[in-house]
Structure 1
Amino acid sequence: MLISTTKKNNVLRDLSTLLLKHKQEIIAENQRDLEGAASLDATLVDRLKVDEGKVKGMSVSVDEVMLQDDPVGTVLHAYTHPNGMKVENRVVPFGTILIIYESRPDVTIEAAVSAFKAGNKILLKGGKEAKNSNLYLVKLWHQALVQNDVSTDYVQYLDIDRATTQKLLAENTHKLDLIIPRGGEGLINYIKSTTNVPLLISGRGNNFVYIDDEADFDMAIDLVLNGKSRLSVCNAIDKVLLNSSIPELEVKLEKLVTKAKEMGLNVLADHTIDQLDTRLNVVEGDEVWSEEFLSEKILFSQIDTLENAIEKINEYSGGHSAVIVTNNRDKAQIFQYGVDCAAVYHNASSRFTDGGQLGFGAEIAISTQKLHFRGPVGMGQLVSNKWFVDGEGQIRG
């Protein structure tokens, strides 16, 4: 049963109001989670924490999605058959979506907002470390739904144990149409091997910056450091490739390393560049190139050509984001078309790979696969299509 755009927007308006009205209660529930998070990795704690700014960000995301056009019902193709039938291909909701995620309570708002505005039902399976935060946020969701005579089935939180989760995945007990796993490769690979339900993979980052020999190096430094301004996010920069023909490379590298160390980064290097600065920590082997750091580590390397840079990125990156810094637009085009990532940047920070920054208001995930969609996934991507054919008794001869 379709919900009208007006009713969906009224739900979202009420939810945004409730988030701000109850921000202290949200923060208090989050504090309960933080008190039990002492044993967690620092990056998970960073993702777990909710403060006034984070609550405000949730409310803003809801408002932005509310103001966007409802994709449901959009006509993608229209055709009048010679026999008089009216044919339309229209956007319809995807169906029932399960998202499995760790540590980030804001996903409970952003994911569900994106799914709901597109007419879907969503099941939320958050990590136990964020249980109190998530349950309170879903309570506010249900209040907004009930206030507008909409079933709470549209947003459900699954507070279930491992065995029940395994049964859900293996037997599709909730008649799911799509699963979105947001977590490490271990979680993604487990779900892949357990279920026959289609997946939308929100995979690893391991993002690269390539600094060309025609780059504004001060700009490059800013982009590298901004790409490392948050350590626990999937759009952070982990690897920096410097063209060996950069004029005065040693002097410029010294400035970059100094700035990185001032920021508290652990600056690593391979043997292509370690001789240019004694402060670089040398790493051995190729395994590090495939690693998503999610930490203060950053790796520098020297590379001879643009083509070799593209080849290296395509071999090791997670397919998330990649940046070229250059004043040569032709080189930038070659890089952007050649690098196999969801978002490819010319003279801009990888930190913009985010639904809110790219005009979606909120996102449910950042897809690193090529089907169904690629990159940030908002309400406009959480849809399918259906053929509507209206006739007057026509039969095919």
Structure 2
Amino acid sequence: MDTTTIDLEQMGKAAKAAAAILGQLTTAQKNAGLLAMADALEMHTGTILAANQEDLKAASMMPSKFKDRLVLTEARIADMAAGVRQVAVLDDPTAQTDRAWVNYAGLTIAQKRVPLGVVGMIYEARPNVTVDAAALTFKSGNAVILRGGKEALHSNMALATVLQDVLATHGLPSDAVQLVTDTRHEVANQLMHLNDYLDVLIPRGGRGLIKAVVEQATVPVIETGAGNCHIYVDAQAQLDMAVAIVVNAKVQRPSVCNAAEKLLIHADVADEQLPVIAKALQEHGVELRGDQRARAIVPSMHAATDEDWDTEYNDLIMAVKVVDSEEAAIAHINAHNTKHSEAIITDNYQNSQRFLQQVDAAVVYVNASTRFTDGFEFGFGAEIGISTQKLHARGPMGLAALTTIKYQVLGNGQVRED
């Protein structure tokens, strides 16, 4: 059924009502609901895969780099369920007091974690986001309104139905998870202006989608990450480690935001190491685009343009630049990155610490692949997105990022004298 403007308002009202109930649930009630969701996902694997096949047939002309995000398999559904179960065993952020103290007037002041309320999600052809978002918002006591891309509509509808049925069966508000089934841009735009009902809007997808939401929404937005991620091979890097990390970061899943898009290499080791790294990448089908110095060492590279340094390819393409110093590498990264994930490969402790401190990104690595920037890998069970901004949340966003604070103050008749 298509969603009209009136329907969005009704969905917002229903979500607010559901959020009020979720905020009163015990941790045990939420965990039981999550475990039931995980079981139901596995139980309905066949139905979900059949719906996914409908989407895949309609997306036959979609580039393979984007189709990879859309495809569901038994293993991927099992991974979704595992993520939901991991969320269930995590600490409930709303069941804790951050700190408490007594002020000069004898007031007991407690800083408590509370849900944000109603979370909106606008995302592209990534059905896993439907489940990740539902699990994290439910555990943190929030309701969620989901608007996925048209390419994944059947998959998202199947997943949302499974989750809503679980909630209803367990006497929980099924409106805690709602899916906008009208995928027209004008409906997404209406969601961006649902200020009376949404407490926050989280876009998740490519740079174009995120930019549009950030610029157009009147609802508060958490900006999540397009990933123009870099790996810098320092003058004191182990070649075997560099090859393994660069290949993993670029090749394992090139369509995702934590895949490496750029390779910077110190001039002192470029003649020795770059041909080996380039050969390993090319053997995996990676197209290399180098600056003049890189192409002088590996002539098979295409020439990089100015646009390349700012491009998130989401494909088996990587731009390569030779730099004269770590300072030059850091300056280039900070000028061109999207504040997502950056890595240095080095055996020099001082260089590693300088990189950690000076690179402006949500996640900075020493001697590890950027592919680890992920809520599941960080132990969050799942993620609702990877924030590349600095206010409220940054990096992979798990349960804590979906809460805010409330001060509860207990007195015994105090009045302020001045």
What is the TM-score with the length of structure 1 in the denominator? Answer: 0.96
Equivalent positions of 1:344-355 (< 5 A) are 344-355=364-375
Task: Give secondary structure in 2 for the equivalent of 1:132.
Answer: helix
Q: Is residue 281 from structure 1 mapped to residue 302 from structure 2 by the alignment?
A: yes
Closer/same/farther in 2, CA of residues 189 and 254 from structure 1, 3 Å limit: closer
Task: Give secondary structure in 2 for the equivalent of 1:172.
Answer: coil
Say which of 248, 253, 258 aligns to 2:274. 253
The alpha-carbon deviation at position 252 of structure 1 amounts to: 2.4
The Cα RMSD (Å) is 1.3
Q: Is residue 331 from structure 1 mapped to residue 351 from structure 2 by the alignment?
A: yes
Closer/same/farther in 2, CA of residues 15 and 257 from structure 1, 3 Å limit: same
Task: Give secondary structure in 1 for the equivalent of 2:112.
Answer: strand
Q: Deviations over 1:55-110 (max 9, x none)?
A: 01001000100000100032112112343322101000011100100111111001
Say which of 312, 336, 347 aligns to 1:316. 336
Say which of 282, 287, 291 aligns to 1:270. 291
Task: Give secondary structure in 1 for the equivalent of 2:120.
Answer: strand
The alpha-carbon deviation at position 165 of structure 1 amounts to: 2.9
Query: How far apart in 1 are the matches of 2:412 and 2:272?
Result: 78
The alpha-carbon deviation at position 171 of structure 1 amounts to: 4.6
Of 162-171 and 271-280, deviating more is: 162-171
In the alignment, what sits opposite 1:77?
99
Say which of 31, 40, 54 aligns to 1:18. 40
Say which of 210, 221, 224 aligns to 1:188. 210
Equivalent positions of 1:53-92 (< 5 A) are 53-92=75-114
Equivalent positions of 1:93-242 (< 5 A) are 93-160=115-182, 161-172=184-195, 175-228=197-250, 229-242=252-265
The alpha-carbon deviation at position 19 of structure 1 amounts to: 0.9
Say whether the 8 Å CA contact 1:120–1:154 is kept in structure 2. Answer: yes
Equivalent positions of 1:16-55 (< 5 A) are 16-55=38-77
| Residue ranges of structure 1 left out of the alignment (5+ in a row) | none
Task: Give secondary structure in 2 for the equivalent of 1:100.
Answer: strand
Q: Deviations over 1:193-236 (max 9, x none)?
A: 32221111112101101001111011001000000121100000
In the alignment, what sits opposite 1:394?
414
Amino acid at match of 2:140: A
Task: Give secondary structure in 2 for the equivalent of 1:253.
Answer: helix
The alpha-carbon deviation at position 304 of structure 1 amounts to: 0.4
Query: How far apart in 1 are the matches of 2:298 and 2:255?
Result: 27
What is the TM-score with the length of structure 2 in the denominator? Answer: 0.92
Q: Deviations over 1:266-318 (max 9, x none)?
A: 0111112211122121223x221001111111111110001110000000011
Query: How far apart in 2 are the matches of 1:192 and 1:242?
Result: 34
Q: Is residue 302 from structure 1 mapped to residue 322 from structure 2 by the alignment?
A: yes
Amino acid at match of 2:123: Y
In the alignment, what sits opposite 2:363?
343
Q: Is residue 243 from structure 1 mapped to residue 272 from structure 2 by the alignment?
A: no
Query: How far apart in 1 are the matches of 2:368 and 2:90?
Result: 26
Amino-acid identity (%): 37
Q: Deviations over 1:367-393 (max 9, x none)?
A: 011111110001121100000011222
Amino acid at match of 1:194: Q
Query: How far apart in 1 are the matches of 2:228 and 2:352?
Result: 20
Query: How far apart in 1 are the matches of 2:57 and 2:174?
Result: 30
Query: How far apart in 2 are the matches of 1:34 and 1:49?
Result: 7
Q: How many residues align?
A: 393
Task: Give secondary structure in 2 for the equivalent of 1:373.
Answer: coil
Task: Give secondary structure in 1 for the equivalent of 2:28.
Answer: helix
Say whether the 8 Å CA contact 1:208–1:313 is kept in structure 2. Answer: yes
Query: How far apart in 1 are the matches of 2:170 and 2:194?
Result: 33
Amino acid at match of 1:271: Q
Task: Give secondary structure in 2 for the equivalent of 1:97.
Answer: strand
Say which of 311, 330, 339 aligns to 1:291. 311
Say whether the 8 Å CA contact 1:207–1:235 is kept in structure 2. Answer: yes
Q: Deviations over 1:10-48 (max 9, x none)?
A: 110101111111111111110111000012222221100
Query: How far apart in 2 are the matches of 1:19 and 1:89?
Result: 36
Richer in helix (by share): 2
Query: How far apart in 2 are the matches of 1:25 and 1:363?
Result: 24
Query: How far apart in 2 are the matches of 1:30 and 1:77?
Result: 46
| Residue ranges of structure 2 left out of the alignment (5+ in a row) | 1-19
Say whether the 8 Å CA contact 1:272–1:301 is kept in structure 2. Answer: yes
Query: How far apart in 2 are the matches of 1:252 and 1:83?
Result: 66
